[in-house]
Each structure stands twice: as structure tokens, then as C-alpha cells.
Amino acid sequence: MAACNQHTLSISEEGASSFNRDSLMQHIKMLASDSFEGRKPFSAGETKTVAYMENAFKQLGLDPGNGNSYVQDVPMVEITPTPDAVMKVQSPNGSFDLKRTDDFVVSTQITDSVVSLNNDELVFAGYGVVAPEYNWNDYAGIDVKGKVVLVMVNDPGFGVDTTIFKGKTMTYYGRWTYKYEEAARQGAKAVLIIHNTQAASYPFGVVQNSWGSSNLFLDKRDNKQYHCALQGWVSADAAKKLLAAAGKDTSLLLSANKQGFKAVALNEKLSLNVKVKAVYNTSHNVIAKITGTKRPGECVIYTAHWDHLGVGKPDAKGDSIYNGALDNASGSAALIEMARAFTSLKEKPERTIIFLSVTGEEQGLLGSEYYATHPVYPLNKTVADINMDVVDAYEKKKDIVITGAGQNELEDYVAEVAKQQGRYLAPEAHPEAGHYFRSDHFCFARVGVPALDCKGGIDVADKGKEYGKKEEDDYVQNHYHQPSDEYDSSWTFDGGIQDLQLLFLVGKKLANESTFPQWKAGSEFKAIRDNMMK
């Protein structure tokens, strides 16, 4: 049987046989227990989680990863914006109001007590993209300093022209985080993204929930980088109102899909006051290492976020603890077990292996962003990041799916091990959703370090794809980011163990090489890496 073969082949390499269900389950049972309160940053659950991870690494005999400490402080700020109930819009055709939550949501990274728009001009800047490699500049020939820019989500051409950018596959230019960053680089006072369910890959309700109350950010008081005063979203209907009041319609949106599109001043002025409450606090990454025998100054990093959503809105059963058993107690357990696999090797790895358990992923990849911008090990000596976020608790899968395929050579390493396991690489089901930009590996990618995120797909050994699709849909619809993502004694982790063996063998190979994997031609992260490696 193929399934049997896969098992024997995959564990034949030294170290890979160390992964087992019982150890994974034991860690998950503890980390996802109610006493850990859903592992939210700054809670008692954080203290317990950080202590658990630190102890686990110590017990395995790992070295502290940050000088003589196993902890990296991550300074954060919790910002609660309270916008006026309406945003006032003045247009050549009269004035009108947009309603908070129904029509727009805004957040801010500015910690002044009040942040305001005062009759600030609105400019439609297409997709808000400046991408030299695609010869694209939505801000060409217009000065948006001090103005409000209105932009669309996803890449130019989305749903209209698949011959530009990467077609259906979202590039980083398509992510809302990029839109905010580029608007700030252009000196805009505020940026509003037009919501579209297909282009965003989630409904407006998700935007309303995420940005309707308080949010955590990294504390950047030391950093003089400019941020827009306000950043947010408008609903598709609110965008139509704004266009109509300027004498335009949605054909203007369509025109932004053509090369040479020029941003358009809408002759509208926006006013809004936002009261801001800011509270500073420190969260923690846990970091441990196995020091390399031959090239200790070079490292391979494994990451998994320890945090989840804490205690929140109760579900239908009255459960309000978001235990995050799979997301991401499973990845945290995997990080410990990955360390165990490396410590079990007779010949220790030649390069240093870092095990980085990061905070604040659910709040915007904060712990990994902090590490990537305050690296303990130089980035040009960091070979790769391998991320684990939600480990497969179910059956073995014949396929393996790389998030953001085509980005870098790490996928060639995956392909080689997958072949040994008798598995095949399958494309992402939703490349337009930009999953490559949505977990911790991305923070390494954006500073140029080749980063990998992959896991088994839906082709369940002996049961097929339809079965696997149902299993995946069940998790997304009934458990993902809900209180019911709880420890389940029926989990086999057959699939997860196979995936972890693969990620172990990829890391082991990287650790014993002297070369550095590269970004592939056309990757938006290649230039950053090439520059630092000169």
C-alpha cells in the first residue's frame, strides 16, 4: 500500500522518527486548556504559555536564544479608537454623512488623544500600488501629501485582466497592509480601502469585527517612520456614494485595471474626529537554539505563534474561551517536538537552529515583525524561516500545498522530501486570498529571508479529495477562530506527523549545507535579499 510506503520512507531518516502523537497531544492538552485562557498577549494565559515554552526548551537542553535569556521582550501598544458616529463628506453636489461601522471602519497607529480629518481632500488612487517590476505606479503625477486616498483591495487586474501582475495569485501589492504602507510612503493623511468580498476574500463583517474596537500594534515610539493619521475601509456601497457625489461611477474603478491609469482628485472633502486611547505594555517571544557545530553564526529558524484570541464573545453553547487548540497550540507543540527531533540527532546540525515561539500573530503578526525588525541573529546569516501554523490533526495526505508557491527555492527542498514520502505538490485552492502574507513567515519574507509555509492538502490517503475538502471546510466553518477550536482526544495527527517529518528534513538539509536558498525571479522579495547578501 502506498500509505505504508510513505510511512517507512519518511521516517527512515535519522531524527524524523522522533515525532509522535502522544507528545504532541500532551503539549496541546495543556496549552489549549481553559486555565491558559486562550493565550492572549498580556493575560495570565501569556505568563503560563511563555513559562511552558521556556521550560520545554530548557528540559530538552536547548541554549537560550537571546543572549542568556529564553525571552525577547516585545513592546506593544493597545490602541482603542472611538470615531464620531458619522464621517462628513462635502462634495460639489452637496454634503452627506457616512455611518461608522455600517459604511466605514477606521483605525490609527497615532497615539495622540484625538486624530481628525478636517475637510481633507479625497483622491481615488486606483489600487494604490507602486510596483516598478510591473511598470505600475498608481501615484504617478499626483501629490497626495496631506490628502485622503481611496484605493481598491487586491492586485491591479483582479477579476478583470489575468495577464497583469500574477494573474489570479495575489502579490503583496494586493494586501491591505501594503495599501496602508504605500499611502504612508506617499505622505497621505489617511487611506480608505474599498471593500469587495471577492477581492478581499472575506465579507465586510470580518472587517467590521477586526477594526471595530481595540487593536494591538508594536510600540514604535523610537521609530520616526511616518504613518497615516487614519487607515480604514469603506463598504462597497459607501464607495459608490462617494463616487456618485463626485459625478463618477464604478467605471472609474474599472479604469484602474489599465496600464497608465492616473489617480483622480474627487473634489470631495472629508471630516471626522477620532478619540484615541493608548495603553503601552510588553509581550514576549520565546527563543531557544541548538548551536551549530561548523557554522554557528548561520541559522535556520523555525517559527510558530503561541498566542490566540483569549476570552471573547461566547458561542451558542456559552463558551467564551478561545482555546486555539489547533490554532496554534498545535504549532507550539510542533515547535517543541521539532527541537526534540534535532536534539535526537547523533551528529548535531552544522548551522544553528533557532526555535522562535512568537506572540501577537492574531493581532497582526506582531511578534514575528518585532523579531524580523530586531533580529537576534543577522538576517544575512539567516538561511530560512520555516513556519508552522495549524498542524494537521487528521489523516495522512498524499498532497502537500505550498503557500505562495513560486516565491523561493525552499519549495524545491519540499518537493524533494515530498517525493521521498511518495507525495506530490498541489496548487493552493485560493491563491487570490494571499495566504503567503497572512502568517508569521511573511515577516521574514518582507525583510528578505526566504520563508516557507506548507502543509498537507485535501487528498486524504485512501479516502480522496472530496473527503479531505469536507474535513477542511468543517474546520474553517465550525472551529476556526471559534471557542470550539478545542483539544479533541480523537485526533490522530497522522497527517501532521508526516508534515512535521517533512519540515524537519527540509531544515536538516538546510542546516548541513553551506549555500543559501534564493528567491525566485519575479518574487517581490528578491531584491531585498540580493542587496543584503552582496
Could you say which DSSP state residue 33 is in?
A: S
Least distance between Zn ion and beta carbon 392 (Å): 13
Of 298 and 361, nearer to Zn ion (C-beta) is 361
50: amino acid identity, one letter? V
State the Cα–Cα distance between residues 414 and 527, nearest whole angstrom: 23
CB 67 within 8 A of CB 308: no
| Phi, psi for 191 (deg, rounded to 5) | -135, 130
Q: Where are the alpha helices (DSSP H) in 261-320?
A: none
Of 186 and 387, nearer to Zn ion (C-beta) is 387
Binding region for Zn ion (CB under 5 A) out of 205-213, 325-333, 430-438, 465-473? 325-333
Least distance between Zn ion and beta carbon 32 (Å): 13
Binding flag, residue 485, Zn ion (CB under 5 A): no
Of 196 and 328, nearer to Zn ion (C-beta) is 328
Task: Please pick, from the candidates 268, 389, 392, 411, the single residue that binds Zn ion as defined by CB under 5 A.
Answer: 389
Binding region for Zn ion (CB under 5 A) out of 14-22, 384-392, 472-480, 498-506? 384-392
Binding region for Zn ion (CB under 5 A) out of 18-26, 150-158, 288-296, 328-336? 328-336
Residues near Zn ion (CB under 5 A), total: 3
> Hey, which residues between 230 and 249 contact Zn ion (CB under 5 A)?
none
Least distance between Zn ion and beta carbon 438 (Å): 9
State the Cα–Cα distance between residues 19 and 103, nearest whole angstrom: 50
Q: Which of 356, 342, 374 is nearest to 306 (CA)?
A: 356
Q: Which of 87, 37, 41, 47 is nearest to 214 (CA)?
A: 41
CA distances, 23 to each of 178, 330, 355 (Å): 39, 11, 17
Of 389 and 432, nearer to Zn ion (C-beta) is 389
State the Cα–Cα distance between residues 231 and 190, nearest whole angstrom: 6
CB under 8 Å to 206, separation ≥6 — which residues?
A: 200
CB 160 within 8 A of CB 254: yes
Least distance between Zn ion and beta carbon 365 (Å): 10
Here the cell at position 244 is 456618485
CB 58 within 8 A of CB 336: no
Task: Please pick, from the candidates 327, 385, 399, 453, the single residue that binds Zn ion as defined by CB under 5 A.
Answer: 327
Of 285 and 328, nearer to Zn ion (C-beta) is 328
CB 397 within 8 A of CB 461: yes
Helix (H) / strand (E) element for 211: namely helix 204-211
DSSP string, 470-499: HHHHHHHHHTTTSTT----TT---HHHHHH
Least distance between Zn ion and beta carbon 395 (Å): 21
Of 467 and 480, nearer to Zn ion (C-beta) is 480
Binding region for Zn ion (CB under 5 A) out of 166-174, 179-187, 219-227, 385-393? 385-393
Least distance between Zn ion and beta carbon 229 (Å): 30
24: amino acid identity, one letter? L
CB under 8 Å to 88, separation ≥6 — which residues?
A: 95, 97, 270, 271, 272
* Contact code string over 277-316 relative to Zn ion, x by CB under 5 A: ----------------------------------------
- Residue 97 β-bridge partners: 88
State the Cα–Cα distance between residues 417 and 138, nearest whole angstrom: 42
Of 108 and 328, nearer to Zn ion (C-beta) is 328
Examine residue 328 and say whether the peptide bond preceding it is cis (omega within 30 degrees of 0). yes
Least distance between Zn ion and beta carbon 358 (Å): 10
Could you say which DSSP state residue 443 is in?
A: H
Least distance between Zn ion and beta carbon 482 (Å): 13
Least distance between Zn ion and beta carbon 277 (Å): 27
Least distance between Zn ion and beta carbon 451 (Å): 15
Of 233 and 322, nearer to Zn ion (C-beta) is 322
Task: Please pick, from the candidates 328, 357, 482, 498, the single residue that binds Zn ion as defined by CB under 5 A.
Answer: 328
Of 32 and 270, nearer to Zn ion (C-beta) is 32
Of 134 and 371, nearer to Zn ion (C-beta) is 371
Here the cell at position 380 is 544575512
State the Cα–Cα distance between residues 511 and 514, nearest whole angstrom: 8
Of 29 and 481, nearer to Zn ion (C-beta) is 481
Least distance between Zn ion and beta carbon 327 (Å): 4
Least distance between Zn ion and beta carbon 359 (Å): 12
> Hey, which residues between 64 and 103 contact Zn ion (CB under 5 A)?
none
* Contact code string over 423-452 relative to Zn ion, x by CB under 5 A: ------------------------------
353 HSE (CA, 13 A, CB side): 29
> Residue written as cell 471577492?
198
Of 221 and 430, nearer to Zn ion (C-beta) is 430
State the Cα–Cα distance between residues 287 and 63, nearest whole angstrom: 9
Of 327 and 524, nearer to Zn ion (C-beta) is 327
Here the cell at position 59 is 528540559
Least distance between Zn ion and beta carbon 178 (Å): 21
Binding site for Zn ion (CB under 5 A): 327-328, 389
